C-alpha cells in the first residue's frame, strides 16, 4: 500500500508541514530510475528520493545523500531556487504535487511500474522524468481529481463490481476484508465492514508486514507484522529499506541457487556417463581372456596365423575365434592383449576415482543448496557466492565436445560439429579400430562408430551412422546419399590440407536416406 491513495494522502500531509516555504537547491539523477530532489529548510536539507524501478516504485526520504562526482545529471532546472507554496493531494488519485510560487508543480505519479515524476507549468506538462511513458505528455493537473460515490445505494447497485467502483482501496484492503469473512456476510454487513475500514484508512497506523513472502506497507493490521509506525515518512523509509534489502537477498539467492543447481545437473550428467562407461568396461574382460587362451594354446598356434580357433574353457569349452597379428609370435600376441587388459583396468580405476570425487562434489552442492534455501540474511548468501567465485572453474562452462554423441545398440556414434572439430574427432579422438564414415564427394561431418572389443559393427548401427553422416552434409536434402565407410586406420591427412580435408585409402560405399 506504499502507493495507495490513502497512504499518499497521509504522506502528502506530512510533507506539507515540512516543505511549505522551503526552497529547492538541487534536482538530479545518478541512476536511470532514480530522482533526488533537495530542499533547504530552517533545520537543514531535506531530500525526496523517487525510485521508479520496474520492481519497485516508491518514495523515501534519506536524512543525507552524497551526490556522486561522476555520472550525475541535473534535471528540472526551472525548479532550482523556487519556493514551495504547498502540497496538493489529488482526490482518489495515487498522485500528489509539490506546488511552487512561480506556477510550476512537480507531480509524483505513483502508478506502479508506470510511475513518473512530471514537471508542470500551470496545467501543461513541461518535462517528464521518464520520457518513455508517452501517455504522460497529455496529462492535465486539473483533470487528476476523481470522484467516488460512497452511498449505500451505489454499493448495492454495483455489488458485483466493488473492486472497480472503490478503486482506491487496492489489493491489500480487499485481502484484509476477505480474511475478515467479507464474502460470507450480508449486503448490509459488508457495507458496515467497508465503512469501518474507511475509518481505519483515514486514521491509520502504518505497519511493515509480510504478505505472500514479500514486505508490504499496510495501513491495516494484516499479515505478519514486523514493525508499526505512526509517522508516514518514517514508515515509507522503513518500507523502502526493508523491500530493497529483501529484494536484494532474493535476487542474490536466486542467482546462487541457479549456479548451484546448474553445477549439480552437470555433475549428475557426468556421473551417469562415467557410471555407464564403467559398467561397460567391467563387463568387458575379453582382453585378459584372449591372452589366457592364447597362452594355454601356444603349442597349437602356428606362426603367421591371423586367426586362431581355441576351446574357451571360460565358457564350457565353446569354440572361440581370436584375431592375431601375423607379424608377432603367439606369445607376443598374448602380451599385447595382457597390456590392453592392464590399460583397461587403469581406465576402470580412473573412472571409479572420478565417480567417487563427483559424488562427494554433488553431496557438497546439495548441502550448499539447502544452506542457501534456508538463508535468512544476505551475508550468508554472499559468503557462499564468494566461495563459489573462488573455485577454479566458478562461473565458467567447460569447452564443448567437438562432436555430438548418439547411442545405438550400445555403440557410440560421434558426429563432428564443424571442419576443425572433424580433424580433432578423426585424428585425436579416433582409434584405428573405429569405423569412419563420410558423405561421398561433398562437405560434411566426419562420423565415427567407436570400436568395442570382441564385437563386430552391426549392420543397423552402420546404417544409422551413415544416415547421420548424410544428414550432416551438403546432401541432407537428397532422397538417397552415398556414404563412405572405412576403418579409421585407412583415413589420413596430407600436410597443408585445409581443416576437415582427408584422404581415404580404402572404402566401401553404402546408400542411405539422410536422417537425423
- Give the pLDDT confidence of 2-49 residue by residue, as tens digits: 899 999 999 999 999 999 999 999 999 998 889 999 999 988 999 999
Please identify, in words, the CATH class of the domain defined by 5-143. mainly beta
Which residues make Cβ contacts (< 8 Å) with residue 382, sequence separation at least 6?
252
Element (H or E) spanning 25, and its range? strand 23-31
pLDDT above 70 (res 472): yes
Q: How many residues does the chain have?
A: 516
pLDDT at residue 383 in the model: 79
Task: Give CA–CA dist 76/401, Å, rounded.
Answer: 57
User: Do the Cβ atoms of 453 and 287 come closer than 8 Å?
Assistant: yes
pLDDT at residue 392 in the model: 47
Rounded to two decimals, what is the model's pTM? 0.56
pLDDT at residue 278 in the model: 86
- Scanning 180-306, the segments in alpha helix (DSSP H) are 187-202, 232-283, 286-296
pLDDT tens-digit profile of 44-96? Answer: 999 999 998 877 899 999 998 888 878 889 999 999 999 999 999 999 999 99
pLDDT tens-digit profile of 501-513? Answer: 899 998 999 999 9
Mapped to the 3 state alphabet, what secondary structure does 76-105 carry?
Answer: CHHHCCCEEEEEEECCCCCEEEEEECCCEE
Average pLDDT score, the chain: 89
How many other β-carbons are positioned within 10 Å of the β-carbon of residue 60?
19
CA–chain centroid gap for 441, Å, is 44
pLDDT above 90 (res 119): yes
- Closest to 292 (Cα-Cα) out of 322, 329, 325: 322
- Scanning 97-169, the segments in alpha helix (DSSP H) are 152-157, 162-165
CA–chain centroid gap for 232, Å, is 38
Q: Which residue has the cell 542457501?
A: 372
pLDDT tens-digit profile of 393-440? Answer: 434 445 678 888 888 888 899 999 888 899 999 998 888 899 999 999
Rounded average pLDDT over 362-369: 89
User: Do the Cβ atoms of 191 and 198 come closer than 8 Å?
Assistant: no
Task: Give CA–CA dist 346/358, Å, rounded.
Answer: 18
Which residues make Cβ contacts (< 8 Å) with residue 319, sequence separation at least 6?
309, 310, 311, 312
Task: Give CA–CA dist 504/487, Å, rounded.
Answer: 10
Amino acid at each position: 500500500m506504499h502507493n495507495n491513495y490513502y497512504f499518499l494522502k497521509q504522506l502528502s500531509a506530512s510533507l506539507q508541514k515540512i516543505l511549505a516555504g522551503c526552497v529547492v537547491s538541487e534536482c538530479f539523477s545518478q541512476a536511470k530510475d532514480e530522482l533526488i530532489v533537495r530542499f533547504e529548510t530552517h533545520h537543514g536539507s531535506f531530500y525526496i528520493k523517487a525510485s521508479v524501478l520496474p520492481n519497485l516504485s516508491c518514495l523515501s526520504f534519506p536524512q543525507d545523500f552524497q551526490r556522486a562526482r561522476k555520472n550525475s545529471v541535473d534535471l528540472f532546472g526551472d525548479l532550482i531556487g523556487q519556493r514551495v507554496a504547498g502540497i496538493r493531494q489529488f482526490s482518489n488519485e495515487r498522485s500528489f504535487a509539490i506546488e511552487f510560487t512561480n506556477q510550476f508543480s512537480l507531480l509524483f505519479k505513483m502508478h506502479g511500474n508506470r510511475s513518473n515524476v512530471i514537471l508542470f507549468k500551470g496545467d501543461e506538462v513541461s518535462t517528464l522524468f521518464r520520457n518513455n511513458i508517452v501517455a504522460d505528455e497529455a496529462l492535465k493537473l486539473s483533470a487528476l481529481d476523481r470522484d467516488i460515490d460512497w452511498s449505500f445505494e451505489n454499493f448495492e447497485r454495483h455489488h458485483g463490481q466493488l473492486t472497480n467502483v472503490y478503486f482506491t482501496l487496492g489489493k491489500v484492503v480487499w485481502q484484509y476484508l476477505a480474511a475478515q469473512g467479507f464474502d460470507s456476510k450480508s449486503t448490509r454487513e459488508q457495507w458496515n465492514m467497508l465503512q469501518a475500514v474507511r475509518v481505519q484508512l483515514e486514521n491509520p497506523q502504518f505497519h511493515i508486514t509480510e504478505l505472500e513472502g514479500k514486505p508490504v506497507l499496510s495501513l491495516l493490521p494484516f499479515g505478519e507484522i514486523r514493525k508499526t509506525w505512526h509517522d508516514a515518512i518514517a514508515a515509507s523509509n522503513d518500507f523502502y529499506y526493508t523491500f530493497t534489502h529483501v529484494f536484494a537477498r532474493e535476487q542474490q539467492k536466486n542467482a546462487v541457487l541457479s549456479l548451484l543447481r546448474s553445477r549439480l545437473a552437470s555433475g549428475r550428467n557426468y556421473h551417469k556417463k562415467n557410471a555407464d562407461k564403467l559398467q561397460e568396461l567391467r563387463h568387458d574382460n575379453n582382453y585378459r581372456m584372449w591372452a589366457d587362451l592364447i597362452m594355454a594354446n601356444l603349442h597349437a598356434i602356428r606362426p603367421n596365423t591371423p586367426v586362431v580357433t581355441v576351446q574357451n574353457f571360460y565358457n564350457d569349452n565353446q569354440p572361440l575365434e581370436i584375431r592375431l597379428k601375423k607379424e608377432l609370435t603367439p606369445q607376443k600376441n598374448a602380451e599385447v592383449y595382457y597390456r590392453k587388459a592392464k590399460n583397461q583396468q587403469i581406465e576402470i580405476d580412473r573412472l571409479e576415482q572420478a565417480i567417487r570425487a563427483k559424488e562427494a562434489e554433488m553431496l557438497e552442492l546439495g548441502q550448499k543448496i539447502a544452506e542457501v534455501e534456508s538463508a535468512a540474511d544476505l551475508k550468508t548468501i554472499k559468503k557462499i557466492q564468494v566461495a563459489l567465485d573462488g573455485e577454479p572453474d566458478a562461473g565458467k562452462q567447460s569447452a564443448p565436445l567437438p562432436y555430438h554423441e548418439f547411442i545405438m545398440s550400445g555403440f557410440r556414434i560421434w558426429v563432428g560439429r564443424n571442419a576443425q572439430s572433424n580433424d580433432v574427432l578423426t585424428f585425436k579422438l579416433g582409434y584405428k579400430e573405429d569405423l569412419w564414415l563420410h558423405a561421398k564427394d561433398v562437405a560434411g561431418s566426419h562420423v565415427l562408430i567407436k570400436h568395442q572389443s570382441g564385437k563386430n559393427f552391426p549392420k543397423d548401427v552402420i546404417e544409422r551412422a551413415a544416415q547421420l553422416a548424410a544428414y550432416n552434409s551438403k546432401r541432407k536434402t537428397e532422397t538417397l546419399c552415398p556414404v563412405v565407410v572405412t576403418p579409421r586406420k585407412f583415413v589420413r591427412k596430407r600436410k597443408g590440407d585445409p581443416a576437415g580435408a582427408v584422404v581415404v585409402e580404402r572404402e566401401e560405399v553404402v546408400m542411405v536416406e539422410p536422417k537425423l
